[in-house]
Amino acid sequence: MMKLQNKVAIITGAAQGMGAMHARKFVQEGAKVTISDVNLEAAQALADEIGEGAIALKLDVTKADNWAEVVAKTEEAFGAPVNVLVNNAGVGIFKPLEELTEADFRLTFEVDELGVFLGMKTVVPSMKKAGVGSIVNISSVDGLVSAPTAIAYSASKHAVTGMTKGAAAELGQFNIRVNSVHPGIIKTPMAAQPDVEEYLKQLEQDIPLRRRAEVEEVSNLVVYLASEDSSYSTGSQFVVDGGMISDL
């Protein structure tokens, strides 16, 4: 039996990178998936590629009204409440503290932190109707430790870690689980930014597995957390970093 049979999921930032792989894996495992992204054209192209089981909706994760619209349209499209949310959308701005602007910090907060809060808040009523739910918040190893130039990013990802714990404690009574995933260096467009590429190449040498992760290696973990295989896991941090922070 497929691991995500009868699951209705919303995945944010799903038009490319990790989010796109999450969407593909979810549908392969039997889920109905809303591919949500600010880039509707790319999201629709992915939905067309995947075919049956996926729809595309435009979502600016910083807008509460847009969140409400996406949840309602997902329920309508699939004829059932939402029982999985993957808060994957994120931005990464890496600059020395003296060069980091207020605009940089606000953008990072709004997408990486506020977006996760709004997603969890908006989807809970649907999950209560379903009688079960799994929220998977994509944080980072920088949500457990930090690094030079990662102040804005790390601040928001630490907040995601904290929100995950608080939401898990609050929502467990409704059979809603909340966990966070903490990737290390993954082969994504964000990691390929020219200003961070050289730094990441240096970091690779200190990773016990001596390589970056394939996107699918993160998606496999996300599938696990969305499925009933992880039915007694909530409020936990799941690290997928090749041992990068194992000695910290």
Catalytic residue numbers, as ranges:
153
Nearest-angstrom CA–CA distance, 136 and 115: 13
